[in-house]
Amino acid sequence: MTAYLFPPPEATAVAIRGTDALFPVRRIFCVGRNYAEHAREMGHDPDREPPFFFSKPRDALAFGRDEIPFPPQTDDLHYEGELVVALGAGGADIAAETALDLVAGYAIGNDLTRRDMQAVAKKMGRPWDLAKGFDFSAVISDIVPVAETGRDLQGRIESRVNGEIRQQSELAAMIWPVADVIAFLSASVTLAPGDLIFTGTPAGVGKLAKGDVVEVTIDGLGTLSTKIA
């Protein structure tokens, strides 16, 4: 029997809607600035930049929770409603034409961001891992299997804060659609079952205060509601 210095962490897993099965999470990848209007609101030209990626730790996931704590070391917490892709297969150097074969399902995500911390890191040319990968920063809904959504999910994405619409777009407005995102990412790392990909957020990101309720809705997936406690 293997002896550990201390008990290993429990597996991180996301519920799969309509089943008793769980989706064991391996890694969490995130795409930056994947909607043109959001790229512009952040001061960038979407026509000139290839996709780029950052990661969040598995234990940043917040699921099955109606509320999460306001994080420390920020006065500018932002919501970012996103489509999340759950991979049921993997590989390297995957062609975009076959990339959707890897998708096991889709979920709704909220990529919470300490924007002030991120801005300081960018200005100083430093990594902004802690601006993105803090506790409860990767809010996610149950995963909906592709058998229910189809492999190429399309439709509306919308975020509301306290009932007021703040983000509204179409998944088709992604600069790099899901198949291209998987293909680009697989050129840099070998993907595997259990990987999650947050695919970027539309324009309209903004500040949250304690007590705010964020609702992210995606056609075919439902609504993810989170209160900032």
Per-residue three-class SS string for 92-153: CCCCCCCHHHHEEEEEEEEECEEHHHHHHHHHCCCCCHHHHCCCCCEEECCEEEHHHHCCCC
d(CA 148, CA 141): 15
Structure tokens at 28: 């969490």
The amino acid at residue 131 is: A
Q: Which residue has the tokens 């407005």?
A: 173
DSSP string, 182-194: HHHHHTTS-B-TT
Nearest Cα residue to 31 out of 220, 224, 157, 183:
183
- The domain spans of the chain are 13-228
Per-residue pLDDT of the chain (229 residues), as tens digits, is 789 999 999 999 999 999 999 999 999 999 988 987 755 655 666 665 788 899 999 999 998 667 999 999 999 999 999 999 999 999 999 999 999 999 999 999 999 999 999 999 999 999 999 999 999 999 999 999 999 999 999 999 999 999 999 999 999 999 999 999 999 999 999 999 999 999 999 999 999 999 999 999 999 999 999 999 9
What's the CATH code, domain 13-228? 3.90.850.10
